[in-house]
A and B are shown apart, each in its own frame.
Chain A
């Protein structure tokens, strides 16, 4: 299997590369310290397997997967066991290795990847996406606990690097996830992405100015491209 390694930490790349060198079935074609470089490489090269770190600045492993139309098999490598639920929302993810990676565990992951058909895998179905939602509730993983949030009580979600800030009537939550992920889990009739960094609950809008909305005490920018959809959703007199 031809593979690449994506990890912003040189130590991690060297260890994974060493683990790969112990298996004849693996050829490491390239190593990348960020996902953007890897996307360029994948546009020009066919590969079978990616070792992908989740925690990377600017562009997380999950952001990276979202950009791939036909992702190859992916083995996540992370120092954080908290993302397992999120990871298995993607069919392309064949295993999840927690650092420091033990050689025996690495071999098992490769056997698993080997046993899966080489047919390109596609993203998860809608039923998979319901794993973390149940009726009016959304479960978020914070400090190894799944915490229930009542969806209608959410009035704002803001992207903050590799985290999202979920603001509700009762409390704010910082969750390691992406805006895209939570957007997929929120009901479309209630929530709208008004800016690349903000999703709002349209029922909670207090007023709207030209390029911004007021929600509770937060003034949120509305991008020009999203404004027509926002106006369409409102019950205008």
Chain B
């Protein structure tokens, strides 16, 4: 499975390491919060709100260079709007990969 990378963040920073650190700190703070809300809403079967959560999480997926995973997130968000949760395991694997990656930074 593809792994996260910092290419996009580095293209933004133009060598500004303070900015890179700032973005990573924000992601490290926001990502677990958004993930928690996602799981809560999924558990409550509130798929409209879960779709909103996936929408927000998919931005971080793209920032971390996960192009294929981003496509999964887009499909999952659209499915959730229709009440279909079939991609949740695949999506949650992506969340796990990001969680592990952020812990190592």
Contact = CB atoms under 8 A, between A and B. Distances in A.
Interface of A: 8-12, 14-15, 18-19, 22, 55, 57, 79-80, 99-100, 102-103, 142-144, 160-163, 174, 176
A12 B59 contact: yes
Of the four ranges (under 10, 10 to 19, 20 to 34, 35 or more), the interface on chain B belongs to 20 to 34
Contacts of A19: 12
B35 interface: no
Contacts of A163: 48, 81
21 contacts: A9-B30, A9-B56, A10-B29, A11-B59, A12-B59, A14-B22, A18-B12, A18-B19, A55-B52, A55-B55, A57-B52, A79-B55, A79-B59, A99-B59, A99-B62, A100-B8, A103-B12, A144-B78, A161-B48, A161-B49, A161-B52
Nearest to A102: B11
Contacts, number: 64
Interface of B: 8, 11-14, 16, 19, 22-23, 26-27, 29-30, 48-49, 52, 55-56, 58-60, 62-63, 78, 81-82
Contacts of A11: 23, 26-27, 30, 59-60, 63
A73 B13 CA distance: 26
- Chain B interface, >50% SS class: helix
Given A14-B23, A174-B82, A9 B48 contact: no
A77 to B, nearest CB: 10
A210 B29 CA distance: 50
Contact of A15 (B23, B29, B81): B23
Contact of B78 (A14, A57, A143): A143
A234 B105 CA distance: 66
Given A11-B59, A55-B55, A102-B11, 9 more contacts: A10-B26, A11-B27, A15-B12, A18-B16, A18-B19, A19-B12, A99-B59, A142-B81, A174-B81
B58 A18 contact: no
- Chain A interface, >50% SS class: loop
A68 to B, nearest CB: 24
Given A9-B30, A10-B30, A14-B23, A160 B48 contact: yes
A164 to B, nearest CB: 11
B56 A55 contact: yes
Contact of B58 (A10, A22, A79, A176): A79
B33 to A, nearest CB: 10
Contacts of B8: 100
B26 A18 contact: no
7 A-B pairs with the lowest CB-CB distances in the bound complex, closest first: A143-B78, A100-B62, A79-B59, A10-B26, A11-B26, A99-B59, A100-B63
A57 to B, nearest CB: 7
Nearest to B51: A163
A61 to B, nearest CB: 13
A79 B62 contact: yes
